[in-house]
Amino acid sequence: MTEFIYKNTKQAKEIIAAQNEDGLWGNFHSLAAPKKDGFTTEQALRKLQILGYEISDPPIAKTVNFMSDCLSKHKTMPDKREKSHDWDVFTELMLATWIRRFTYECAEANRIAQVWSAIITDTFSNGEYNHEVYLRSYEKYFGKKAKGGRLVDFVSFYQISLVGGILDEKTDSRVVDYLLNKSDGIYYIYDICLSQTPKDFASKNAVRYLAALELISKFLSREKLHFAVEWLNGNKNKNGKWDMGKSARDNIYFPLSDNWRTAEARESDCTYRIQKLLNEITK
């Protein structure tokens, strides 16, 4: 029932109304906070997914169809090519990631996910992360050397989202250990070591921390997040719910409701998101 309410909020309707006929919202790439003059497609997809939209919803299906056509080379992304990294590999990575966040029915997106799974499996084959092995494996599968920070280091939103749940058990466990102890977190999401829970629960920093936990909760070794479960349960309020405070409003993950004029609305939003995460970790 809560998801239905969030799907019918004013902000959801405004995002959908801004969608172009081709299924996009202007340029595709940017995971920064939306600007007042509009969304990128990634920003729109992220927010709609948070609000409960799925592949069965026409706006999402339209965008997924466009992304699938881009992967099959029948259509082209509207963004300018970025020169700081291998744009073709990065583009395929972005598209496959977002398609698979809504559906596993795209064969090309699944192929790309398996390629990254193979690279990461090679990388941890000796029991721990080996950067030289990662670079060699990348070159083996893509036929070129890794170029650009988003590809030279695999720990970003895209790769982690893409391979969550599809690695073999040993590799999955090794990757989760690596993610939890990496000093600079997950690129695009959270830039602090994940094994250290935020000191201030009522903060934007804690909101981003939740986003990182949500990514890792898709891995087979999600039980390694039980320390975070204790942290979350320790931050319940006297009502047995969660309130991350006014500063949690980042216009990305919060608010879910149309406004936070009341503490009850903010508490409802925070509790919905945290309970959903806990259900994923403990299932």
Distance of CA 240 to the CA centre of its chain: 28
What distance separates the 2 farthest-apart alpha carbons in the chain?
A: 57
Mean pLDDT of 210-239: 97
CB atoms within 10 A of CB 258: 15
Give the pLDDT mean for 34-54.
89
The model's pTM: 0.95
Q: 35 pLDDT exceeds 90? A: no
Has residue 38 got a pLDDT over 90?
A: no
Share of the chain above pLDDT 70, in %: 98
pLDDT of residue 204: 95
Q: Which pLDDT score is estimated for 2?
A: 53
pLDDT digits (tens, 9 = 90+) for 120-162: 999 999 999 999 999 999 999 999 999 988 899 999 999 999 9
Q: Enumerate the domain spans of the chain.
A: 1-80
Question: pLDDT tens digits, residue range 53-91?
Answer: 999 999 999 999 999 999 999 999 998 888 888 999 999
User: Packing angle between helix 41-50 and helix 87-100, nearest 10 degrees?
Assistant: 20
User: Which amino acid is it at 226?
Assistant: H
Residue 1's pLDDT band, with cuts at 50, 70 and 90, is: very low
The one-character DSSP state at 80 is P
